Amino acid sequence: MKIRNLFLHFSLVVRHRHRVLIHCAKCGILWRGLVHDLSKFSPTEFFESAKYYQGDRSPITACRKDKGVSLAWLHHKGRNKHHIEYWIDTDCEVPPMMPYVYAVECVCDKLSATKTYAGKNYTQDKALAHWLRYGNKVEGNPRTMRFIETVFRDLAEHGEEYILNRRYMKKTYAEICLSPDDGAKS
């Protein structure tokens, strides 16, 4: 492993966490932003991610290609409730809905990751494009998945100022995740 990658990966994680903190604070969940992704500094996650560091995408895919599995990802998703995969249990027919704070943190995380990896090429429609290409392939709770996609569609159309606030997030979460119907709204 290159020493340079250790520093580059550390810098990337810090920049990502800083963006998540800002987004979470705007959404009224400051604590989630403060504790976001602390497991990335654990030896299991940090050293594997530094070894496969690329700078413009997650190192997890490169590690999976090389080894067939990413121990960093298995460690990470099992400790961080803002990941849809945390809520998936093979014995459940339908995964449980993510609680509000974790669903909002998930949005802040995905938005921040998109910004971090896209850099100067970031535009407000990139989070939706990434979600449609990769994110919604996970078999998460249908209402949680609809919430995240709705937020990213609104982001693409209206921008960050529109979505990154407590009022918008609570209203959208309640309409999609807490409505008494089957959530089949479009």
Whether residue 185 is contained in a domain is answered as: no
Quote the pTM value. Answer: 0.93
**Start-to-end C-alpha separation, the chain:** 48
Whether residue 127 is contained in a domain is answered as: yes
Span 48-65, mean pLDDT? 94
Collapse the DSSP code of 75 into the 3-class scheme (helix H, G, I; strand E, B; otherwise coil) and give the result.
Answer: helix
Give the total number of structural domains in the chain: 1
Whether residue 21 is contained in a domain is answered as: yes
pLDDT at 99: 97
Structural domain of 60: 3-177
Span 2-31, mean pLDDT? 96
Span 106-119, mean pLDDT? 95
Whether residue 183 is contained in a domain is answered as: no
Chain centre to alpha carbon of residue 70: 17
Are 106 and 24 contacting, i.e. CB atoms less than 8 angstroms apart?
A: no
pLDDT at 181: 64
Whether residue 12 is contained in a domain is answered as: yes
Whether residue 73 is contained in a domain is answered as: yes
Higher-confidence position of 186 and 155: 155
Percent of all residues in the chain with a pLDDT value above 70, rounded to a whole number: 97
Reading the block at residue 51, the tokens are: 């070894």
Whether residue 184 is contained in a domain is answered as: no
Question: Cα separation of 181 and 178, whole Å?
Answer: 9
Question: pLDDT band for position 182 (50/70/90)?
Answer: low
Question: Cα separation of 178 and 97, whole Å?
Answer: 10
Whether residue 130 is contained in a domain is answered as: yes
